[in-house]
């Protein structure tokens, strides 16, 4: 992934990345989101790091009312266009937040954090964001976290060095960091290996994790 320049803010970095090309991501919903949310009853959803809107569109198509949140105004504008083209704009709202310092208000039946990794991430930052995300889950709702579990392996390469400096947490580590009450129920805790295509057309394998945790209808 592109690396930030010294002193660059999160919004500047991601605006620059999205501005370099017409499409950064595939436009399709993340398979881990589909895996973790396809059997849920639609309600109000919060999509953290909504990017170009692929996950937001899928959720809206399933009947969710979605708040898409991203640090990049460029990404939000692009995603809003895709949502309008998909015919689900009436089910979607947008908000720009730097989750490291600012978090949207409200409670949600689903809080989705898919691949919330960043080269600007400070130590402990992701864990703090996910703890705040758990606080936004309504009674009886779920927190759904999709994460890279290891650096991707490109075909023909021993290693891919795109994430050499990044430590990918295990689901056990994430649960420890979340420090949720025992009354919260882990409903899904899996690692999934799949094929992927790099931005330059090369292909490889990657291992990701999905974690779905449900808040009780009444906190103990």
Six token digits for residue 75: 């990404």
Give 169's pLDDT tier (boundaries 50, 70, 90).
confident
Whole-angstrom distance, CA of residue 146 vs CA of residue 163: 17
Structure tokens at 170: 């295990």
Higher pLDDT, 12 or 52: 52
Secondary element (H or E) of residue 150:
none
The pLDDT > 70 percentage for the chain reads: 85
> pLDDT digits over 24-39, tens only?
877 789 999 999 999 9
3.40.390.10, 2.60.40.1120, 3.40.50.620, 3.40.50.150: which CATH number matches 10-214?
Answer: 3.40.50.150
pTM for the full model? 0.88
pLDDT band at 95 (very low <50, low <70, confident <90, very high): very high
What average pLDDT does the chain have?
A: 88
- Specify the pLDDT at position 2: 67
CA-nearest of 170, 144, 151 to 30 is: 144
Q: How many CB atoms lie within 10 A of CB 11?
A: 17
Residue spans of alpha helices (H) in 109-155: 125-135
- Strands 108-114 and 44-48, sheet pairing: parallel
Cα separation, 28 vs 23, whole angstroms: 12
């Amino acid at each position: 992934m592109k690396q930030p320049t010294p002193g660059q803010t999160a919004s500047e970095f991601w605006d620059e990345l999205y501005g370099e090309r017409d499409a950064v991501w595939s436009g399709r919903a993340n398979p881990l989101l589909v895996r973790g949310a396809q059997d849920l009853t639609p309600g109000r959803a919060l999509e953290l790091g909504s990017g170009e809107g692929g996950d937001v569109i899928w959720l809206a198509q399933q009947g969710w009312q979605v708040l898409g949140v991203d640090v990049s105004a460029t990404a939000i504008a692009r995603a809003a266009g895709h949502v309008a083209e998909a015919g689900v704009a009436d089910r979607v709202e947008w908000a720009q937040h730097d989750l490291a310092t600012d978090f949207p208000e409200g409670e949600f039946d689903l809080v989705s954090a898919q691949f919330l990794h960043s080269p600007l991430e400070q130590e402990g930052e992701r864990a703090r964001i996910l703890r705040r995300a758990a606080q936004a889950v309504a009674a009886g709702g779920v927190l759904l976290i999709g994460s890279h579990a290891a650096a991707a392996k490109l075909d023909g390469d021993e290693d891919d060095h795109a994430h050499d400096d990044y430590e990918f947490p295990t689901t056990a580590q994430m649960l420890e960091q979340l420090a949720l009450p025992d009354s919260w129920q882990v409903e899904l805790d899996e690692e999934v290996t799949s094929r992927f295509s790099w931005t330059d057309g090369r292909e490889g394998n990657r291992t990701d994790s999905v974690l779905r945790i449900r808040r009780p209808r009444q906190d103990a």
